[in-house]
Amino acid sequence: MKSKGIGRAVVLGFLGLVMALPLVWAFLAALRPPAEPFAAGNVFFGTHLSLDNYVQAFALAPFLQYYGNTVLQVGLILGVQGVTAILAAFAFARYRFPGDRVLFTLILVQMMIPSAALLVPNFATIRFLRLYDTIPGIALPFFGSAFGTFLLRQSFLALPRDLADAAAIDGCSWFQELWCLFLPNAGAALAAFAISSLSWHWNDFLWPLVVTQSEAVRPLTAGLARFTQMGEVGAQWGLLSAATMIVTLPLVAVFLVFQKPFVRGYLSSGLK
């Protein structure tokens, strides 16, 4: 049994290394001196470490502005999603009403629709509402979350129904039940949902690029596109890697800090 555990650890470690290799390469490429080109057999290490690519990246793009826009966008989405997903999950987990199964199934069906298929109708709606090139316009299509509703409903269902019924008999309102019973027992699921939403919308590229045109409202991913438009001067892998690290490292740090509640939230919800 011990050898079996060691073998499993070796396999998982190897798979983890393979998955982390692109990130490791980008990290090393960003620290490579700009004057040293990449060559066959020499794509990882330069003669010394240099921060010149990071300095140049900050000089070419207003990353502080991008960071502010991204934090506002992600915070707005997560705040509204938190309210809508929690209330919807509580309603489906606590109450029975005509058509509840059909309605919940329709919400799950929404998860099967690729976001690219909704690009045109969402864009038309944003233009109609005069929210084009604004942060609320980027956030509006994501104010509801089918995934968040499903994840939190699964967590709420783990609470014994008799306990909620006893609270109702004692005179608790629905809000008191939600606040005092359901939410304290769903902390891990809430953390998992928050990290998933943060990761998804922090990395979203296509929709922000389509619905914005000015640097004043563009998030990090859309701003990163300017570094891919330097083909006329050759592929600047070190510069592009530095810009990518500026966008990615905060998200990696957040995941490393909150990885335990993230995993625990998925396990407690019954998802595999």
pLDDT at 89 over 70: yes
Between these two residues, 3 and 161, which has the higher pLDDT value? Answer: 161
Query: Domain 61-269 classified CATH 1.10.287.130?
Result: no
Task: Decide: 65 and 215 in contact? Cβ < 8 Å.
Answer: yes
**pTM, full prediction:** 0.82
CA 12 from chain center: how many Å? 24
* 194-243 residue pLDDT tens: 888 888 899 888 899 899 888 889 898 888 877 766 655 556 777 888 88
Dihedrals φ, ψ of 103, to 5°?
-65, -40
* 101-121 residue pLDDT tens: 899 999 888 888 888 888 999
Q: Which two tokens stand for residue 28?
A: 């090393």
- Domain residue extents for the chain: 61-269
- Reported in sequence order, the residue ranges of 105-238 that DSSP labels E, i.e. its strands, are none
Q: Which two tokens stand for residue 22?
A: 């692109």
- What is the mean predicted confidence (pLDDT) over 246-262? 78
